[in-house]
Amino acid sequence: MPLPDLRDLSRAALEAWCAEAGEPRYRAVQILTWAHRKQAASFDAMSDLSRRLRERLAASFSLAPLAPTVVATAADGTRKLLFHLPEPVESVLIPQTERAGGARDRLTLCISSQAGCGMGCTFCATARLGLLRNLRPAEIVGQVAAGQRLAAPAQLTNVVLMGMGEPLANYEAVRTACEIMTAEWGLAISPRRITVSTVGLAPEIPRFIAETRVNLAVSLHATTDEHRARLVPVNRRYPLKELMAACRAVPLPRRKRITFEYVMLAGENDADADARRLVRLLHGLPAKVNLIPFNPFPGAVHRPSPRAQVLRFQALLREHGLNATIRESRGQDIQAACGQLAAARPAA
C-alpha cells in the first residue's frame, strides 16, 4: 500500500492525526505551511519540527510534487501542462492582457478536477474519454503549484476549475482543494479569484458555494429542457427548473454574480429566440452570461456559430440589460481551448 499523500489532507484531518500522535493541534498548521505555502520537497526540510515528528510524518505520508511532463506553448502565449497521474490530466496557463502594461493583466490557470469526465456533453472532447477517475486534493492543488512554478516570477492571479472533469461530481476532493488553495497556510489565493464551473449538479451547488466562498459558473448552453437534455445529458436528472432554483438558493454576498456559460453552436442554440428565452430564464438572478465560441476537435458533431451571430446574440442579451461577454478562444492551436482537453496526443 502506498502511503497517503500529506497534501490530500484537510486541516481538520491533519489536526486529528496530530491529536492521535500526541502533538499539539497547532502543529497541523505548521506542517501544512511547509507542505503548501513553502512547498517543502521533503519532511526533512521541515526544519522547525522535531526530528522525531519528521520521522513519524515520513513513516505515515508521502510528499511527492506533481511534475508536468509536456509543456506546449501556443502562438498566443497560452501554455498547456500535461500530467501523467498516470492517467493524462491537463492544465492550461492563460495570460490575458487587458491593455499594454495594464494593472488588470491576468494570469489564469485552468485546472482539472477529474481524469476524463462522465457527464457526456456532446460538444466536449473530454466527454469522449469517459470518467477515468476522480483526482485527489493533492492532484488538484498540485496542478496549481506546478502552474505557479512555471509562471514564476509572474504570479497566478486567477484559478478556474474549467479543465477536465465535473468538479461537483468529485465534491469532497474539490472542497478540500479549495480549502488548501484559499488558506493562509496553503496557497493563499483569494476565493474571489477562484471559479468553479459546474455542468449543473443542482443539489450540490448552494452547499458548495457556502462551504468554499469561491465564484460559481454554471454551464447552461440551452434554454429549454428538451434542447438542454440533448446537449447536456445530466439535464435529465436535474432539469432547468431545479437547476435555476439551486442557483437562486446560492448564498451570494452583495454585488457578486453567478456566471452562466453558453457555448455557441451553429443552428443548435444560437437563434434569436434562444437569446430571448435566456433573458427570461435568468430574470431576477444576479447573473452574467459568458458566451463561448465552440472550439472544434477531431470528430466533433457541432459547428461553431458564425461570429456575426455570436455578436448578435450578445447584443440581444445586452439590450435586455443582461451583462454578456464573449470568451475569446485561447490556445486553440495546441488543443488547449475550452472543451479540447482530451490529452489524446502529445502536443507539439
Residue 51 burial (C-beta neighbours within 10 Å; 0-12, 13-18, 19+): exposed
DSSP for 116-168, written as a single string? E-SS--TT-TGGGG-EEEEPPHHHHHHHHHHHHHHHTTS---EEEE-SSS-GG
Shortest distance, CB of residue 237 to ligand SAH, whole angstroms? 14
Using CB under 6 A, which of 78, 143, 148, 198 touches ligand SAH?
198
Q: Which of 187, 236, 245 is nearest to 214 (CA)?
A: 187
Nearest CB to ligand SAH, comparing residues 68 and 293 = 293
Catalytic residue among 90, 166, 261, 268: 90
Q: Tell me if 339 contacts ligand SAH by CB under 6 A.
A: yes
8 A C-beta contact, residue 56 and residue 308: no
Chain centroid to CA 159? 7
Q: Which of 314, 319, 258, 246 is nearest to 286 (CA)?
A: 258
Q: Tell me if 158 contacts ligand SAH by CB under 6 A.
A: no
Catalytic residue among 117, 121, 247, 338: 338
Active site residue 20: no
Partner residues linked to 218 by β-bridges: 198, 260
DSSP for 280-347, written as a single string? HHTTTS-EEEEEEE----TT----BPPHHHHHHHHHHHHHTT-EEEE----SGGGT-STT-----S--
Using CB under 6 A, which of 108, 148, 182, 197 touches ligand SAH?
197
Using CB under 6 A, which of 219, 269, 332, 335 touches ligand SAH?
219
Sorted by sequence, the CB contacts under 8 Å of residue 273 that are 6+ apart come out as: none
Using CB under 6 A, which of 28, 338, 342, 347 touches ligand SAH?
338
Shortest distance, CB of residue 168 to ligand SAH, whole angstroms? 8
Shortest distance, CB of residue 333 to ligand SAH, whole angstroms? 15
* Part of the chain binding ligand SAH (CB under 6 A), chosen from 12-20, 64-72, 87-95, 197-205: 197-205
Q: Tell me if 223 contacts ligand SAH by CB under 6 A.
A: no
Q: Tell me if 123 contacts ligand SAH by CB under 6 A.
A: yes
Q: Binding pattern to ligand SAH, positions 284-313, x when CB under 6 A?
A: --------x-xx------------------
Active site residue 117: no
Residues marked active site are found at 90, 338
Binding residues for ligand SAH (CB under 6 A): 121, 123-124, 162, 166, 197-199, 219, 261, 263, 292, 294-295, 338-339
